Homo-oligomer: A and B are copies of this chain.
Amino acid sequence: MTNFKEIAASLKFNSVIHNFNAGPSILPREVFQQASEAILDFNNMGLSILEIGHRTDAFQSVMDEAQSLLKELMQLNDSKKVLFLHGGASTQFFQVPMNLLDDNATGAYLDCGTWGIKAIKEAKLFGNVNVVASSKDRNYSYIPRQYTIPDDAAYFHYTTNNTIEGTQVAGIPDTHVPLVADMSSDILSEEMDFNRFSLIYAGAQKNIGAAGVNIVVVDEAILGKVNRKLPTMMDYREHIKNGSMLNTPPVFAVYVCMLTLRWLKKQGGVAGIQKINDQKAGLLYSTLESLPMFRLPVPIEDRSKMNVVFTMPDVETEKEFLSVCKSNGMYGVKGHRSVGGFRISLYNALPLSSVEAITDLIKDFAQKKG
């Protein structure tokens, strides 16, 4: 297979392109090479990964390794079950309350961004919702800090990182009720006591793998307590019982997760990648802060290390900057339409060199514009 690898390595992947996409987003180059190869010949079987049965030993070991790597990297205890489910976080917005929230019970929610708003909307279909705090008053540009989570809530739900608004919750809220978190855009990016959560979910397409699969880490003890009857495919217990293969799983997407988790382990796991993530975010924020041309809407203590959001004084300068980025191979820097300006995403697979390249470009642009 040496020839194949050489050719692959010589292809257009190069240092000229920097991918700051918010998701789907950059993955490690070696993952692309291994995934590309497996589509032609998986495990030297002479078959593509796309044409093998999910009940084969070959795929069973992919699923086993993906689950065990995630457990290891998150340092999960044995009460936590790891599932790779179809769909993304949007499905979890309703699957969580469907499984955990009885008609007359109350789910406590933190309202601090686009994804949380959607989660709250879906929860209301199943039970009562108590929004304990909101940052709507300032266009979700900060994380609320003063709030009380009622002890009788069925659970407390929050989004750890707000991809669109560029905010991130520091630390884990202190509460006695089961903690549920949407970690789609910052999972595995920094050390955290993941065992404090009763349920964690995350669309894979940022730090875990490719779009089309969703990670659920759940404590079995919180399941089976609601009165409603659940559709089989929506019941976490059914997926646990069937080892995350209740139906044909998204085979290739799970394989890409496994490859990405292997890569992460080689980087020194979550602790290792956190060091680089801290450097990346530190360099970009300090550069932007040092230049009066750029405005950072999020207060220091609430800034996301994954999605750096900033604006410029006028639309014309923003257009010009966007065009300079494009001509220098900087992709995916345009901000979400609801926030405007720019968003630079710094997920695990983005190398420090890409951040150095864009900070150089930022400094150069600011100097030229004087």
Contacts and interface: CB of A to CB of B under 8 A. Distances in A.
Interface stretch (A41-49, A68-76, A189-197, A218-226): A41-49
Interface stretch (A139-147, A207-215, A355-363): A207-215
A47 B91 contact: no
Given A87-B233, A205-B248, A27 B41 contact: no
A118 B91 CA distance: 21
Interface string A22-65: 11111100001101110111001111101111100000000000
Nearest to A38: B36
Nearest to A231: B94
Contacts of A331: 47
Interface in A1-36: 3-4, 7-8, 11-14, 16-17, 19, 21-27, 32-33, 35-36
Copies, count: 2
Given A7-B3, A32-B40, A331-B47, A122 B232 contact: yes
Contact count band on A: 35 or more
A56 to B, nearest CB: 9
Contacts of A39: 32, 35-36, 39
A210 B86 CA distance: 13
Q: Which 3 A-B pairs have the closest CB atoms?
A: A212-B250, A94-B231, A86-B87
Interface string A79-99: 000000011111101100010
B122 A231 contact: yes
A283 interface: no
Contacts of A212: 86, 212-213, 249-253
Interface of A: 3-4, 7-8, 11-14, 16-17, 19, 21-27, 32-33, 35-37, 39-41, 44-48, 50-54, 86-91, 93-94, 98, 118, 121-122, 125, 203, 205, 210-213, 229, 231-234, 246-253, 256, 329, 331-332
A254 to B, nearest CB: 9
Given A19-B47, A27-B48, A88-B247, 16 more contacts: A4-B8, A21-B52, A36-B36, A46-B329, A50-B210, A53-B332, A86-B86, A86-B212, A87-B247, A90-B233, A90-B247, A91-B247, A93-B231, A121-B232, A203-B248, A252-B252
